Chain A
Amino acid sequence: MKSYVLSTASAIAVCAAGAAFAEGHAEAEVLHYWTSGGEAKSVAVLQEEFAANGGTWTDMPVAGGGGDAAGTALRARVLAGNAPTAAQIKGPAIQEWFQEGVLADISAVAEAEDWANLLPASIAAHMQCEGTWCAAPVNVHRVDWIWANTEILAANGIEMPTTWDEFNAAAETLQAAGIIPLAHGGQAWQDATVFETVVLGLGGAEFYQAALVDLDPEALTSDTMVAVFDQMRTMRGYVDDNFSGRDWNLATAMVMNGEAAFQIMGDWAKGEFIAAGKVPGVDFTCASTPGDGYLYNVDSFAMFEVDGEEKAAGQALLAELIMGPNFQEVFNMNKGSIPARTDVDLSGFDECAQISAADMASTNEGGTLMPSYAHGMALFGAQSGAITDVVTAHFNSDMSSAEAVQMLADAVANSL
């Protein structure tokens, strides 16, 4: 034990000495939660590029809890006055950290590289803190996908639904044929994922913005919201009895092996299909959920205020590489998402990714490109959590839609 401590201490001393000698060297300590197979491979791409450009990368992966554990580690380090150079944070959390006064300004890189014109406007807005650039986006996951088993649809004469009524009709047909219409995992965030696609589909982008981004009490208690909860209740009838607590990838497997027909899930589900050797368009079909619009979930790295030129140089290099076309292409091909910058050649990507990119461009122009509330892109944690509580309580009980709407308005008011 003692010799271990000694050797670690001397290793640290050697590293510190090495860094001190290399003047003008780029250095970055990166806190992230990409630790599972495909994700780890994706982040390794960034590490290699960083090293190839002469930087020293100190990896700080924190596994577990969908980023909760990483968030806790980050908080502890910032409180201790020892912030990492960059950390994986997304959505409004970037602004929350900015308000704590701990984020660095990377406008120099962003302006030199013209990020403002490379990113869709609403995604660029997430990366800016009161006019300065404070984070770099890595990818865009689309959340409002509906995945289907192609064979089952063909066997039952069903087209991909384009309205929720069509979805319900298809589900009735499937149920009569003894197939589970909707593969779903009863975890709060999965309930919330389905909920937000229904809000977007039934209410449209404007209603989505009012209800789940601006938290307008009128929208939250409107008849449209009642209809949304009615649809959730209907869909509760389309999942199997044993859905409680099921992980999302097990639900994806149900679609794959023909137990269930549809799943509503973000495009990380595509990775599961592809890992199992399924081909998009042949074995499974991807389409946006009924209705117009696009719900995005963007991973990003925020830069923290740190001392030392090497670390500042590291931040600049990191920001440049993250937004670089090469990394955006390679990383997103690995991860199943699409590049955040809009000028990357997509010819190497699969069919679903191409649909996603085309829809992102068109919804950006049409103003229906919306942040996903269920994945922490639209609201602060306390508010989105309050909404999710109501959604999951309604979905898992026999609460009426009117009650749910009232509870929703109360919960949102209580969380502000």
Chain B
Amino acid sequence: MVYFILKRMVQSVFVMLAVAFLAFSLFRFVGDPITQMTGVETSVADQERLREELGLNDPFVSQFMRFTGDMLKGDFGFSYRTRQPVADMIADRIPATLELGVVALIISLVVGVPAGVYTALKPRGVLTQTILMTTLVGVSIPTFVIGIMLIFIFGVQLGWLPTFGRGGTVQIGSWESSLFTIDGWRALLLPAITLGVYQLTLTMRLVRAEMMEVMRSDYIRFAMARGVPMGRLHYKHALANTMVPVITIIGLQFGGVIAFSIVTESVFQWPGMGLLFLESIRFVDIPVMGVYLVVIAFFFVLVNLVVDLLYVAIDPRLRISDVS
């Protein structure tokens, strides 16, 4: 057990290093930060001097060593564009993205799990076919089109909900939250639905598949034969058994939600990490881009690790080779 945990952690460190290298080498090669940092009338000589000062002329390896070393020390550098510490910029944006992601995930669960159970129990019903068809269409529309449609209908035409930003936020320590005001919730609704639709479909299909699988298992058939009431059978025994793999996947989905929030945040001008990332791509703000990639990868690896450990904790019979 201890060996397994250690092994998993070493692997995670390996993954993080690889991602750091990728992130760094990518941004070492993209665009020219100097042209972004300086104005129209800056002379070529001044640009060259700045390039030298920032160490952009150093060899690749020493730049990477400096990048990784600084990062391990918790020094994420300064943005080329705003000249602020990147760590602060990203930290400021984390609450917005996390709240959006969590609410989107909750929407996908609250709708997705019951829908999955229902469609599994009544596979031939008209409602089931309708739900399946709707989700199929939902998953086939690009996220950004869904967002724009919602803005157009609920923002511009009906004027019910705000179309951009976070609305009223409340500062709790260093965490800026939009969950404690009505205004904040109104602003959160459309982006969260947009982001949640895709996950909702995944969740529903997963629950449905697992549920159908479990309903066919010997264990449920025995229970049925013993005369356990159907309602109890469905919700206590069957659903409980589907939850382990479902929770696993949901954990992993959370990473996807965070990453896909790039698109949603762009459409709704939601001031989270994804929007910051897109802005930094636009302005070739290398330090911000690099740190964002590493932070996202860190989220993924962390969730992955926790899920793996949970898995083993719940079901020790599972061997590691079956888990991945």
Do chains A and B interact in one complex?
Answer: no
By a beta-carbon cutoff of 8 Å, the part of chain B in contact with chain A is: none
Chain A contacts to B: CB under 8 angstroms: none
